[in-house]
Amino acid sequence: MLCPDSDGPETYGLTAGTPPEPNPAHQEAADQDADNDTDLDDVFDSADEVDDGPSLDLAKPYNRQQASHGAAKPTANTFASIDDQVAELSKHAAKIRLDNVKQGQDRDKDKSDRATAELVLDQRTRMILLQMINRGLVSEIHGAISTGKEANVYGAVLYPDNPDADEPIQRAIKIYKTAILVFKDRERYIAGEHRFKAGSDKGNNRKMVKLWAEKEFRNLRRLHAAGIACPEPLMLKLHVLVMEFLGDKRGYAYPRLRDARLAGDDVDDQWHHLYVQLLGIMRRLYQVCNLVHADLSEYNILYHDKQLYIIDVSQSVEHDHPHSLEFLRMDIKNVGDFFRRQGVDTLQDRTIFNFITAPEGPVEEPALSQAIEHLYEIRPAVAETDEAAAALEVDNEVFRNQYIPQTLDEVYDIEKDADKKVDELVYKHMLADRTVVEEKEEDAGSSDEGSDEGAALSGDDESDVDESIFDKGRPRGKKHEDKDEKKLHKQAVKEAKREKRKEKIPKAVKKRLVSTTTRKKK
């Protein structure tokens, strides 16, 4: 059953109790650390698929080590050795107690039963879990916290060496399902990710799942390094990810934001603060981690004691992903919809989008929250008439349907855009941080007061512009758009015109806008 000697799986994270030490300032370096953090003296190296060639960049360091260690590896008795080790691991079998469903949450009851029934773990997964027990990463694995289409999450517990002195540590284990066919969708998230260029292999489910788990592991590391509340990722082995458990000492997970029940006299205030907290997290995620969550909603946020925890980041994408801004807009909408249902007075989607993407501005609390409160202060007077309220709603709709160019090369109609105020451009943060200087020159004394996004544009020199934004992404002119997109875009332009602002764009800015784009088109 077990086949010896192939390109084996990579293990990330805790090895013999060593916590990962990601560096927030060097995300790529952190990712690279993960690449090198392989454990080769591992029985499951041999248990991995024979036909799986190295699929990722991170296979390179592995291969190098493989080559240098290869000679020392016993070959003749590999089968016997693996069998011995399997037998050795089997002594832990009783510690995988998936029928012991600890999570008492109603929403999961049926699902847990289903999970138990359906989860006769495949041999590979079982071996990975046994090995984790053997290594002391966890002592026992319990019932499902959650089961879904793509992954199940289980509670696990690590009993301390000295039970008198230390409390048991709860952990969560996310096991991605390998025998499913829902990856068509996932391709959309992985394709376009420079980190996973070589990894996508639609034809191989197991590889795709592994990639997916790896994406979650790396993204969690980024969040954790950036100080965003999330489960700390501890170990990854193929499609099995061990992470910090977000819940109480007895093993009950924190509720999803959707299920959170706030108590007290100031529930409205609490919801408002959670909303502000989340917008801050989204900006931090974007600016510090370079990520867009891409599935952010009340289902993928846990709540405890006034704190939001971000989970489920397997589909999160980098800025340069061709759909990252669309995903961001979707996240903003989902978050807004949820908080409005809680009675929160939410900001306009467009305002939030600009707040999150503006390169200048705070990324740390409490300045983040203050900047958001400032957005409330400077927003146009609350729409008192039905007409004004409707106009605001129209603006929200326009924004939601607007075509968002991902790079300046993708700007749809520069001539039309040139007639708009810079603030109206959904891609304004892609433009060189130049306009303020010129605005100031033209109209001394006027600042960015009129802007409602809270974070001011900087007066940086053009040379500081990240040129890389110009050469990434699929060029998307009219002919690349599908019919619906075209229609939506047309509607958006029409609406936007109707709403046209009184002030026109300053001449110098207009000239600059045209010349920037023209230059890049060459």
Ligand X SMILES: Nc1ncnc2c1ncn2[C@@H]1O[C@H](COP(=O)(O)OP(=O)(O)OP(=O)(O)O)[C@@H](O)[C@H]1O
| Residues near Mg ion, by CB under 5 A | 300, 312
Residue 256 binds ligand X (CB under 6 A)? yes
Backbone angle region of 136, left / alpha / beta, with phi > 0 → left and psi within -120 to 50 → alpha: left
Distances (CA, A) of 182 to 55, 144, 149, 208, 293: 20, 21, 8, 11, 19
* Six-digit token string for 355: 């707040």
Q: Which residue's CB is nearer to Mg ion, number 82 or number 119? A: 119
Residue 300 binds ligand X (CB under 6 A)? yes
Residue nearest to ligand X (CB): 148
Site for ligand X, residues 440 to 469, rule: CB under 6 A? none
- Site size toward ligand X (CB under 6 A) is 20
Q: Whole-angstrom Cα distance, residue 104 to residue 319? A: 39
SS3 sequence of 43-108: HHHHHCCCCCCCCCCCHHHHHHHHHHHHCCCCCCCHHHHHHHHHHHHHCCHHHECCCCCCCCCHHH
**295 given a catalytic annotation:** yes
Transcribe 486-501 into DSSP letters: HHHHHHHHHHHHHT--
Q: Whole-angstrom Cα distance, residue 413 to residue 492? A: 13
Q: Which does 261 bind (CB under 5 to 8 A by kind): ligand X, Mg ion, none?
A: none
Of 9-17, 48-56, 141-149, 201-209, which segment contacts ligand X by CB under 6 A?
Answer: 141-149
User: DSSP state, 505?
Assistant: P
User: Measured from the CB of residue 486, what is the shortest distance to Mg ion in angstroms?
Assistant: 33
User: Measured from the CB of residue 426, what is the shortest distance to Mg ion in angstroms?
Assistant: 28
User: Measured from the CB of residue 144, what is the shortest distance to ligand X in angstroms?
Assistant: 9
244 neighbors 232 (Cβ within 8 angstroms): yes
User: Measured from the CB of residue 184, what is the shortest distance to ligand X in angstroms?
Assistant: 15
User: Measured from the CB of residue 153, what is the shortest distance to Mg ion in angstroms?
Assistant: 9
Residue span 143-182 as binding mask against ligand X, x where in contact by CB under 6 A, dash where not: --xx-xxxx-x------------------x-x--------
Residue 231 binds ligand X (CB under 6 A)? yes
Of positions 13, 20, 22, 247, contacts ligand X by CB under 6 A = 247
- Residue 161's CB is within 10 A of a number of other CB atoms, namely 8
Q: At what angle are helices 267-287 and 324-341 packed, to 10 degrees?
A: 170
Beta pairing, strands 233-237 & 140-147:
unpaired
Rg over alpha carbons for the chain, rounded to the nearest Å, is 26
Of 196-204, 241-249, 422-430, 486-494, which segment contacts ligand X by CB under 6 A?
Answer: 241-249
Check 295, 395, 448, 460 and give the catalytic one.
295
Q: Which residue's CB is nearer to ligand X, number 314 or number 357? A: 314
Residue 316 binds ligand X (CB under 6 A)? no
User: Measured from the CB of residue 129, what is the shortest distance to Mg ion in angstroms?
Assistant: 21
Q: Which residue's CB is nearer to ligand X, number 89 or number 230? A: 230
Burial of residue 96 (CB within 10 Å: 0-12, 13-18, 19+) is buried
Distances (CA, A) of 331 to 228, 273, 294: 17, 18, 6
122 marked ligand binding residue = no
Listed in order, strand segments (DSSP E) in 105-163 are: 140-147, 151-158
User: Measured from the CB of residue 228, what is the shortest distance to ligand X in angstroms?
Assistant: 14
211 marked ligand binding residue = no
Residue 337, SS3? helix
Residue 426 binds ligand X (CB under 6 A)? no
User: Measured from the CB of residue 183, what is the shortest distance to ligand X in angstroms?
Assistant: 12
Residue 137 binds ligand X (CB under 6 A)? no
Check 7, 37, 108, 312 and give the catalytic one.
312
User: DSSP state, 458?
Assistant: P
Q: Which does 397 bind (CB under 5 to 8 A by kind): ligand X, Mg ion, none?
A: none
Q: Which residue's CB is nearer to Mg ion, number 283 or number 293? A: 293
Q: Whole-angstrom Cα distance, residue 246 to residue 161? A: 22
Q: At what angle are helices 267-287 and 367-378 packed, to 10 degrees?
A: 110
Of positions 130, 220, 253, 426, contacts ligand X by CB under 6 A = 253
Q: Which residue's CB is nearer to Mg ion, number 312 or number 410? A: 312
Residue 405 binds ligand X (CB under 6 A)? no
Q: Which does 327 bind (CB under 5 to 8 A by kind): Mg ion, ligand X, none?
A: none
Q: Which does 209 bind (CB under 5 to 8 A by kind): ligand X, Mg ion, none?
A: none
Transcribe 275-290 into DSSP letters: HHHHHHHHHHHHHTS-
174 marked ligand binding residue = yes
Amino acid at site 452? D
* Six-digit token string for 172: 């969560």
Residue 358 binds ligand X (CB under 6 A)? no
Annotated binding site for ATP: 174, 246
Annotated binding site for Mg(2+): 300, 312
Binding site for ligand X (CB under 6 A): 145-146, 148-151, 153, 172, 174, 231, 243-247, 253, 256, 300, 311-312
Annotated binding site: 174, 246, 300, 312
Q: Which residues are catalytic?
A: 295, 312
